Structure 1
Amino acid sequence: MSVNVYGSGDPVRLFVAGLHGDEWKDTSDILYNLKTPIHGTLITIPVVNSGEYVSTLDESYYKNKGKIIIDTVIKYQPSIYVELHSYSGENIVYLTDKNRLKKTGVPAYSKLDNNVLLGSVAPYIRRNYFSKKALCLSFEIKKSDEKSKQFAAKMADIVKECNSRDDFILFLKQKYPEQAEKAIENYKKFYGL
């Protein structure tokens, strides 16, 4: 596990990948290939945990396997936080299920392009370590899908240059208006804004 710091100053962005199981095979090289942002700081943790799968929805994840994430958040206080995950094709129905909030306690992911899904991060880390104004995203990449990985890399590059949550929302509204509306609605419902 390495914590890499590129650039300096605000805004501070933290991108993590390889959070559990073999996700690192589809996500980590995206972070290894990101360049220093034009402004501000980019911190990456390309492989958080390549061992057993423990869900990030389980609060204990961030106290054990994902403790390095919490330590990094506390140390650097990022205002933009991104997790890169990967999913098996058969799981898309569960991740995008409109009733996911009732079933799992978190909102459904929205579909972007090339089998990349956009959602929020686990409630535990979102609520306990970030302000309501922070941008906290989770991208799900379809396993072993090169187009999905390439598209996620483009999205990571876009977010890497965002200066605030509002920058990303503006981009999302222009490029994916339906998904933006749904994401904002879910955020407001879930976090009580």
Structure 2
Amino acid sequence: MKYKMLGDGDPIRLFVGGLHGNEWMDTSDILEGLTPPAVGSLAIIPIICKEKYVSTLEESYYRTLGRPIIQAVEALRPSIYIEFHSYSKQNQKLLTGADRIHKTGVPAYSQLDNDVLLGSVSPVIRKDYFPAESLCLSFEIQKENRISKDYGSKIAEKMKECLSKEHFIEQLTKRYPEQTKKVMEDYRNFYGL
């Protein structure tokens, strides 16, 4: 599976969606609707897999279904990597609950507006394929929620213009100061940085 390249030069961003199961139905058109960034380049892979669900927390995911992601990361060496996932409404508390770290081994997502969640990508890809200064995020869009999807599209538009991890933190802090603080603390505690 190839990526589609929009724009040219640095920073290089890679956005992926439809990572497993039927997530592609809620996320692929968000990525397909993006235009080139004002500065740098954006590679998109709107659909990784349309069928099988294998968690991105499993090491086997990036060796099998997620292999196209690893190939793109190795070819492009993006400084900004973002996954767009979708979740069912009944799973929201599982994703945002304080006990998620104990249940799944990863920090909880932070709640943004319109049922969009923000968190880190799987440590499987984060630790092995990106340096500490890279920006690696996961956004969760609520399934079958038009308002959530529209807000996810706005986030994607803003993220394609993001220049660095520091630039993102600065922008996020303006809109979501509490969530930014939590995300940063979780990240430092989890990765020991």
Q: TM-score range by the shorter chain?
A: over 0.9
What is aligned with 1:104? 104
- Quote the Cα distance in structure 1 between the aligned partners of 2:103 and 2:51: 26
- Quote the Cα distance in structure 1 between the aligned partners of 2:64 and 2:101: 25
Pairwise CA RMSD: 0.6
- Quote the Cα distance in structure 2 between the aligned partners of 1:2 and 1:129: 18
Post-superposition CA distance 1:129-178 (Å, at most 9, x none): 00101000000000000100010111111111011001110011100000
- Quote the Cα distance in structure 1 between the aligned partners of 2:179 and 2:62: 28
1:74 aligned onto 2:81: no
1:10-49 equivalence runs, <5 A: 10-49=10-49
Offset at residue 51 of structure 1 (A): 1.4
Post-superposition CA distance 1:11-44 (Å, at most 9, x none): 0000000000000000000000001000101000
SS in 2 for 1:114: helix
- Quote the Cα distance in structure 2 between the aligned partners of 1:168 and 1:151: 17
Offset at residue 99 of structure 1 (A): 1.3
Give the paired residue count.
193
SS in 2 for 1:52: coil
Q: Which amino acid aligns with 1:17?
A: G
- Quote the Cα distance in structure 1 between the aligned partners of 2:91 and 2:154: 23
What is aligned with 1:189? 189
TM-score, normalization: structure 1? 0.99
Offset at residue 47 of structure 1 (A): 0.2
- Quote the Cα distance in structure 1 between the aligned partners of 2:19 and 2:101: 22
2:109/2:119 contact within 8 Å kept: yes
What is aligned with 2:156? 156
SS in 1 for 2:114: coil
1:2/1:47 contact within 8 Å kept: no
2:18/2:24 contact within 8 Å kept: yes
SS in 2 for 1:82: strand
SS in 1 for 2:5: strand
- Structure 1 segments, 4+ long, off by >2 Å, are none
- Quote the Cα distance in structure 2 between the aligned partners of 1:22 and 1:52: 8
What is aligned with 1:177? 177
Offset at residue 2 of structure 1 (A): 3.9
1:55 aligned onto 2:55: yes
2:2/2:68 contact within 8 Å kept: no
What is aligned with 2:88? 88
TM-score, normalization: structure 2? 0.99
What is aligned with 1:120? 120
SS in 1 for 2:113: coil
What is aligned with 1:134? 134
Q: Percent identity?
A: 54
- Quote the Cα distance in structure 2 between the aligned partners of 1:155 and 1:56: 22
Q: Which amino acid aligns with 1:91?
A: N
- Quote the Cα distance in structure 2 between the aligned partners of 1:184 and 1:21: 29
- Quote the Cα distance in structure 1 between the aligned partners of 2:134 and 2:99: 26
